[in-house]
Structure 1
Amino acid sequence: MNRYAKDFPILDQNVNGHPLVYLDSAATSQKPFAVIDAVERYYKENNSNVHRGVHTLGSRATDQYEGAREKVRRFIGASSTKEIVYTRGTTTSLNLVASSYARSRLQAGDEIVISPSEHHSNLIPWQQAAKATGATLKYFELEPDGTLDLKKAEAVITDRTKLVAIAYVSNSLGTIFPVKELAAIVHRHGGVLVVDGAQAVPHFKVDVQDLDCDFLAFSGHKMMAPTGIGVLYGKESLLEQMEPMEFGGEMIDHVDLYESTWKELPWKFEGGTPIIAGAIGLGAAIDYLEQVGMDVVEAYDRDLTRYALERLSTLEGVEIYGPRENRVGSVLFNVDGVHPHDVATVLDAEGIAVRAGHHCCQPLMRWLEVSATARASFYLYNDEADVDRLVAGLQKTKEYFGNVLG
C-alpha cells in the first residue's frame, strides 16, 4: 500500500476474499478521511442553510460554503469568485452553458465543433442546441491513436464557428488535448471554447486564465470530493450575459407580481438550497490535493499510467487503445475473444474493480470499431502493485476463457 492509500478508509477492505484494488477513479474517486471528516463536522456542528439566516450556525455554514468557493477560484486560477458557479456536476455545468449561453446566441448557419471522443455529457447538449437553433454540428477528425492534429483542427474551425467544446482529457482514452492552442484558434475566429475538465482538474494543475478558455466544467466526485457537487467556471463577461436555468429561492434579488430580478454573480445561477455539504467537502478535497501538490499528483499519475501501459503491452491478446504518450489517468483495453463485462467480472472475483462498457462514449466506441471496452483508471492512492494485480488478473481471465472456449 502506498503512502497515500492509508488516507482512504474504503481501501482497507477485502472484496471477494482479496484485498481491494480500486481501478475505477475515472468514474468516481475515493474520499480521504479529510473530506469525510469535513462533511461529517458540517452535519454534526454547523448544519444550517446558507445566506438566509443571521444566527451563528447559518453564519458558520455560509463562511464554509463561500470559503470553499474561494478555494476553487484559487485552485483553477480564476480572477474572481463571481466566475465560480456551483452545480451538481460536469453534466449540469455543460448543460447550463448549452441552454443559457448557446441557445440564446446561435442561429442557422452558425457552427458548433466538438470531437467524436466526447463523453455524452459534452455531446448531447450540443446536439440539442444545434437542433433548437438551426446551427450545424461539426466534428474534429481524430488521428489513429486518438489524438488531435492542430493543423487539421484549425481547418475545421471557421468564422461561422461560434462554439467549440472539447474535453481536456478524454475519459476513455486518457488523451490530453491541446486546449490552450485551440482556445487561441477559436478566439481568432470570434468563437468561444468550452472545456470539459472532469478528467483534467483532478490530475494536473489547470489554470483557466493561462488556457484562456471561456468555460470550464468539472465535478467534485472525480477529485476526492463528495458526489453531487460540481463547478462551472465562466468568464465574468459571458456569465453576466446569461440567464439562469432555475428560478426560485436564493437566486432572486427583487420579486413583484409580474417581474423579478436576479442576484449578482454567481448566485443568480444557484437557485434553491445549494449543495452545502458537497461544497464544503470539495473545499476539503482541494486542501488535500494542494497539500500533496498538483505537480506531485501529475507526475505520479503519469508515471503510473506509463507503467500500466508497459505492463499491459506485455500481455498477448490484449489490445490497448489511445496514444502511448501525453495521456494520463486511464488505460482502455480489450482481451481478444472475451467480452469486457466478462473481463470485469473475473477481475472483480479477484478483488479488482475496473469499468466495462461504452463509458458514455458510444461514438468513440464506433470509431474504435468495438461495442465496448474495459478501462482501468488510476489515482494517487494506486501504485505499481495494483497494476501488477491487474496484469495477474488478466492472465487468469485469459486462462479461464481459454479453457472454457478451448
Structure 2
Amino acid sequence: MGDRNSVTAAPVELNAEQLQVALGATGEELAILMRQLASERLGVDWSRMWRLLMAGKVARISPGTLQSLRAAVDATKELRFAEAARTEGRDAERQAALDAQAAARSAEIEADRALSRMKAEGERARKAELDSRNAQLKQRELEKKLRGLETQVERAEQKVKQAERSAAAAASTSRPSIRRVPRDQLRHPPLGVWQSRSGGSQHLHVAPPTTNGEVVLAQELEKIGHGLVVLNATIAVGSQEREVDALVILPVGIFTVEQKDTALVGTLEVPTNGPPTVDGRVMDGGDHRGQARKESQLLATLAAADPAIDIGFVSPMLSYYGDVEIATEQSGTVIVRRTGALADLFGDYSRSRRQTIRRPTVIDLLERLEAPGLPWDDIGAAGFEDDLSSRTAEIDGDE
C-alpha cells in the first residue's frame, strides 16, 4: 500500500474563489460564517484570513479549520433548505387553490351569460306571442325552447364541476422530465465486481442503472483509456448522503458525475442557481448544479477525514442525455457536458495535465469508500504511479 504513515495532514493554500468552491458557499456567506466562528474558535486568526482572501491572496488553511468551515456551511445550508422547502410547499398550495378558484369562476361567468341569454330570448318570445293570434301554439314552442335552454344551463354547471376537478388534479400531479426505466428492462454488468478494459481502466458497478442516460453514461466511460470508474455508488457523511451516478478517478484528477435525462428538445441553459431550462422550458429536478456540487463536497469531506488521503480538488460534473445542445456560455465551477462527449473530455484531460493522484492514494480512497479492493498491479495498469514529481492546478470549470 506504500508508506502510508509518512503522510501527514498539511495546510492547503486556497484563494477566495477556491475556498468558496470547496465549501459551496458565496463570499457573503463565507464572511458571515467567519465572524460567527471568530467567537467560537479563538485559536484561528479569522480576521487576517479574511483580509488575505479579500485582497486576492492565498491563505494557508489547516485541515481542522477547513473542516470547521465545512461544518458551518453544511449546518447553514440545511437550515436554509428546510425553510425553502416549507416556503415552496405553501406557495404551491396557495397557487393551486387560486388556479382552481379562477377556473371555477370562469365557468360560473360563462354559465351566467348563458342564463342571461336564455332569459332575454325567452322574454322577447313571450312579448311577441302576446301580439299573435296563435299565442297558444307559439307558447308551446316557447316552452320547448326553454327546456332546451335549461339543458344548456345543466351542461354549463357540469362544465363548472369538471373545471374544479381538473384544477384539483393539476395541483396534485406533475409530469417528470426524467424518464425512469424499469430495472428489469435495463441490461447491466455484474454488480460489485471490478472489470478491466483493454486500455487498462477498471470499472465497478455498485448498483444497476435506472435511466437510459445512466446506461449510455456507463457505455461512454468504457472508452476512457486509464483510470477507475465507480458507477451508482452512494457516498454518506454523517446524516448526509448522495448517490453518485459516476465517480471517475483519473491519474490527473477526480470527478463526480451527476447524470440527467430529458425529453425536451432545444438549447440547454444551466444557471448557477435554480433549475435548468431548454429553450425557456423549465426542467424538473431542481438545482442541478447544486446537486453536482453537493456530491463533490461529500466526497472531499469523506477523504479529508483521513490525513493519508490527498486527492486535491474534486471536480463536479453534470452530464445530460437527450436531444439538447448545451449553451456555450456556462458560468460556474461545475463542468457541463452532453453524455456522449465525456470520453473525449476525459481523454483531453489525461493528455494535457500532469498526474496528481498516487497509487497508494487510490488504495486508501477505495478503502474509505468501502469499495472492493484492487490488486496493486491492476491499479498501476490503470495509469497510477507510486510517486509524483509535481502536482497540477485544479481542474478547470465550465466551457
Q: Which structure: larger Rg?
A: 2
Greater helix content: 2
Per the shorter chain, which TM-score range?
under 0.3
Higher RCO, Cα 8 Å, sep 6+: 1
Normalising by the residue count of structure 2, what TM-score does the alignment of the two structures yield? 0.26
